[in-house]
Amino acid sequence: MATVSQERATRRRQRRAPQKGTKRSKVAFAHPSEAEFARILDFYGVRWEYEPRSFPLRWEGERIVEMFTPDFYLPELDLYIELTTLKQSLVTEKNRKLRHLRELHPDINVMLLYKRDYHRLLAKYGYGPLAHEDVRGIERVLITVDELERRITELGQQISQDYAGTEPVLIGVLKGVIPFMSDLMRHIALPLSVELMSVSYYTGDAEGVRITKDLDRDIAGSHVLMVEDIVDTGMTLNYLLHYLRTRRPASLKVCTLLDKRARRLVDLPLEYVGFEVGDEFLVGYGLDYLEKYRNLPFIGILKPEQDGRKPRRPSRRARGKRMEKKESPK
């Protein structure tokens, strides 16, 4: 039987070979969270490479004695991502390495996703340890009805000025955008038209985003303003902007009510932003948690997850998935 250290060495060797997406089946991921993360990227059509590069961190004479190999490289975004689903003690070590890496290679873009960030990413798609089935209630109001009204009036005025002399097409993605779209368009003093689209959501397979409701009209040559409720990782918007560009609009800009900057993976220019928000799960004014709360007239923060307390039932989606896995032997 191989000793623990032999096993580790073998794994390190396996891990060193650079492996490119999207042939996930061929990649020997070191951890299931990495495979899941790759599936999410595949779904949103974000290209990735698995551990394509090791950065030397420390030398003894000529010999490299310490290296750092980020888990993923996203070539289109020129971004390295390190997933740390590890124990806190190991995270501290990783942070040290990362700081060192940034000092030695200030030109590289590298991002650390903590266990909690990763679990939140999964929870957003309805599974993982932070996914809840029960409704938890509102902790506090983050943006009041008055603040929404004031800011949306300003956005409408700004857009009216910037698009003066044109007839813009506002495109929204259902369903979260409904209240914002309807308030915003009433503050734009221009002839305009509205289009609504629907896209499928990540559910654990890597089929890729599907447009479940497409535009009703041709937008070639039109000035298009994409209206969003919230930009989080940016993956949905990135996908949609690529798609809309193939329809040859005269211009394509983005207006989002909320910008959750702290969680961005795909950085996109957002021309109009209502509010920058922190890394908290928000509901109301269109935003849902398991389809609830969309009708709140304000934006609120959900009660924080009570992780570490009593175990919770996994979400329906997660249970469904587990059953599927059982039934389909690999």
Instruction: Write out the residues near ligand IMP by the rule CB under 6 A.
Output: 176, 229-237, 260, 281-283, 287
| Cα distance from N-terminal residue to C-terminal residue, the chain | 26
Q: How far is the CB of 137 from ligand IMP (least distance, A)?
A: 15
Name the residue with tokens 């990362």: 98
The nearer residue to ligand IMP, 159 or 283, going by C-beta atoms, is: 283
Q: Distance between CA 150 and CA 312 in Å, rounded?
A: 40
**Is 232 annotated as catalytic?**
yes
- Out of Mg ion, ligand IMP, none, which partner does residue 57 contact, by CB within 5 to 8 A per kind? none
Query: What is the rounded (10 degree) CA torsion for 127, 130, 136, 138?
Result: -110
> Judged by CB under 5 A, which of 172, 176, 249, 274 binds Mg ion?
176
> Rounded to 5 degrees, what angle do the CA atoms 187, 188, 193 make?
125
Burial class (CB in 10 A: 0-12, 13-18, 19+), 106: exposed
- Out of ligand IMP, Mg ion, none, which partner does residue 81 contact, by CB within 5 to 8 A per kind? none
Subset of 235-264 contacting Mg ion (CB under 5 A): none
Q: Is the dihedral of CA 270, 275, 280, 282 positive or negative?
A: negative
Would you give the binding string for Mg ion spanning residues 51-80, x where CB under 5 A is met? ------------------------------
Q: How far is the CB of 183 from ligand IMP (least distance, A)?
A: 17
Residue 172 binding Mg ion, by CB under 5 A = no
Tokens describing residue 27: 């990649």
- Out of ligand IMP, Mg ion, none, which partner does residue 158 contact, by CB within 5 to 8 A per kind? none
- For 123, other C-beta atoms within 10 Å of its C-beta total 19
**Segment interacting with Mg ion (CB under 5 A) among 32-40, 176-184, 187-195, 210-218:** 176-184
Q: How far is the CB of 181 from Mg ion (least distance, A)?
A: 11
Q: Are 284 and 275 a contacting pair, CB within 8 Å? A: no
The nearer residue to Mg ion, 168 or 176, going by C-beta atoms, is: 176
- For 7, other C-beta atoms within 10 Å of its C-beta total 11
Catalytic residue among 42, 71, 183, 232: 232
Binding interface with Mg ion (CB under 5 A)? 173, 176
Enumerate the active-site residues: 232
